[in-house]
Structure 1
């Protein structure tokens, strides 16, 4: 199999894993386990895995220095702890389609964070894209919750949690890059997941003790294993490998694919419905992300005068 085919296969599988999670998680929450309990299982499982692997592949690699250690703590808080707590809390309250659409705002946040933290230039097309995507996300958050929200659930609050989740993850992508370039990826992952576990354990301890595990159907156990193994560990390993060969444009294309797959899965399983309003909101967000993801054209070099060439 050619390397380019392997890259496309890896990125498609990652998109499919994330897309399926929006519907699979709804089978577990809130009837069998609360969102924080799932976060605890997912983060603790990934922490153990990445810690063991990091000791095997990079036993002498350590994050050193005050600045790098503080950055690792910030990455663990934003990219692992808050990111997952907000995501599963929001998904517990809102619909799979709404959650998948709002999630695509993350690249917008990454651009804004790059402008603020790295001093990158904010062009007019990017600014227009931010406005379009923001309008689409606002329409989803402020719109009617739909049939997925049940008594006692607040779909608007769930949408807001997903937006905050996308914001935390977008900032995380910017601040984690210096660590990924300086240390082995598994060293960084082991540390930031450990930080995330410090948040997840106290937050989810009660919810992980409450369920009646003895009466869990096999399908629920399969869903939990899927979220721990596939969603956290396998998806990252595939994504991390593909990043070595894939272009930013290709990664952007697969970002668009995730909500499309999530819609197909949710609708086919009867867990959500695709309305014309949601389609319009999706177009606004996708259009905004497309404009933001476009690179600014580099100015053409000035032509060299013929006389100068002769000289």
Structure 2
């Protein structure tokens, strides 16, 4: 299979998982597990699984102090700040609001890529990001009129989450050029776990797991396996072959999936207007991923 097809398939899957996460995680919080408790369950589980996979499959070591410093920053921005702010924010605001605020992340990716990776921002790529962002905002704003108003603090926390994840996407790219994806994620989650556990362990201990119905266990399994392990692994693997801007712009597909899931549950309706906005998002993704034209022979 063509590598570009694999990359887009991986990023598409990530967007679908994250899009579903907005509604599924809200079923868990706060009635069954408080936000920091859910984060701790999610991150500790992923740390153990990625650590075991690293020992069994790669046995690769990170010896460079510079790389460990970057891993520490990835753990801080990609796990600790990212997870604590997202689930706290989602607990306070609506899935619609949260998915709308998430669209700021690609802007952070572009700015940080220019600053840290010295990547030049192409005009057509900027147009693609603006087109996709406009489509996402129009799509969600049309649905937000029929949704519960989000709490400002929740929106601000999701904004912090989006910015921190954008920084993570840029910071992790050089590591993906030197190490296996499992090696990177096992170290990043270990660092992130050390930052998350002090905040959430008390909430985990206070959770009444015996009261969980099967649907909540299934929702937790989806959050841990799908949204954490699979999504992060696919994201960092894609970073080997895609620019941070392309990875970031796929975040714009999350609100599309959030709307489609709401429609399937009978909580929203799909119109031609929404179809137009979705087409704008896919058009923006195309422009961002558009390959450079080969230089003409002299």
Cα offset, 1:262, TM superposition = 0.8
Is the CA contact 1:78–1:171 (under 8 Å) kept in the aligned structure 2?
Answer: yes
Instruction: State the match for 2:168 in structure 1.
Output: 172
| SS in structure 2 at match of 1:196 | helix
Q: How does 1:108-119 map to 2 (within 5 A)?
A: 108-119=107-118
Q: CA–CA distance in 2 between the matches of 1:46 and 1:238?
A: 14
Is the CA contact 2:105–2:248 (under 8 Å) kept in the aligned structure 1?
Answer: no
Matched residues, number: 293
Q: CA–CA distance in 2 between the matches of 1:103 and 1:220?
A: 25
Is the CA contact 1:104–1:289 (under 8 Å) kept in the aligned structure 2?
Answer: no
Q: CA–CA distance in 2 between the matches of 1:107 and 1:147?
A: 25
Give per-residue Cα distances to partners, 1:239-297, cap 9 Å, x unaligned.
55666777989867854432211112134436x65899x97xx78x9599669837697
**Residues 275 and 58 of structure 1: CA distance in aligned 2, closer, same or farther (over 3 Å):** closer
**Residues 117 and 234 of structure 1: CA distance in aligned 2, closer, same or farther (over 3 Å):** closer
Q: CA RMSD in A?
A: 4.0
Instruction: State the match for 1:79 in structure 2.
Output: 78
Cα offset, 1:136, TM superposition = 9.3
Does residue 206 of structure 2 align to residue 207 of structure 1? Answer: no
**Residues 231 and 62 of structure 1: CA distance in aligned 2, closer, same or farther (over 3 Å):** same
| SS in structure 2 at match of 1:119 | coil
Give per-residue Cα distances to partners, 1:136-176, cap 9 Å, x unaligned.
999999xx897535xxxx61111111111111111111111
Does residue 30 of structure 2 align to residue 30 of structure 1? Answer: yes
Instruction: State the match for 1:220 in structure 2.
Output: 216
Does residue 288 of structure 2 align to residue 293 of structure 1? Answer: yes
Cα offset, 1:218, TM superposition = 1.1
Cα offset, 1:207, TM superposition = 1.3
Out of 185, 192, 195, the position equivalent to 2:188 is: 192
**Residues 168 and 275 of structure 1: CA distance in aligned 2, closer, same or farther (over 3 Å):** farther
Q: How does 1:117-196 map to 2 (within 5 A)?
A: 117-122=116-121, 147-148=147-148, 155-196=151-192
Does residue 263 of structure 2 align to residue 260 of structure 1? Answer: no
Question: TM-score under structure 2 normalisation?
Answer: 0.79
Instruction: State the match for 1:307 in structure 2.
Output: none
Instruction: State the match for 2:52 in structure 1.
Output: 52
Cα offset, 1:19, TM superposition = 1.3
Question: Which ranges in structure 2 are unaligned for 5 or more consecutive residues?
Answer: none
Question: TM-score under structure 1 normalisation?
Answer: 0.76
Give per-residue Cα distances to partners, 1:61-105, cap 9 Å, x unaligned.
211222111111000000111111111111111111221222232
**Residues 136 and 159 of structure 1: CA distance in aligned 2, closer, same or farther (over 3 Å):** farther
Question: Which ranges in structure 1 are unaligned for 5 or more consecutive residues?
Answer: 305-311
Is the CA contact 2:173–2:236 (under 8 Å) kept in the aligned structure 1?
Answer: no
Q: CA–CA distance in 2 between the matches of 1:179 and 1:235?
A: 18
Q: CA–CA distance in 1 between the matches of 2:125 and 2:2?
A: 32
Q: CA–CA distance in 2 between the matches of 1:31 and 1:108?
A: 34
**Residues 88 and 146 of structure 1: CA distance in aligned 2, closer, same or farther (over 3 Å):** farther
Give per-residue Cα distances to partners, 1:172-203, cap 9 Å, x unaligned.
11111111111222111111100110111011
Structure of higher CA gyration radius:
1
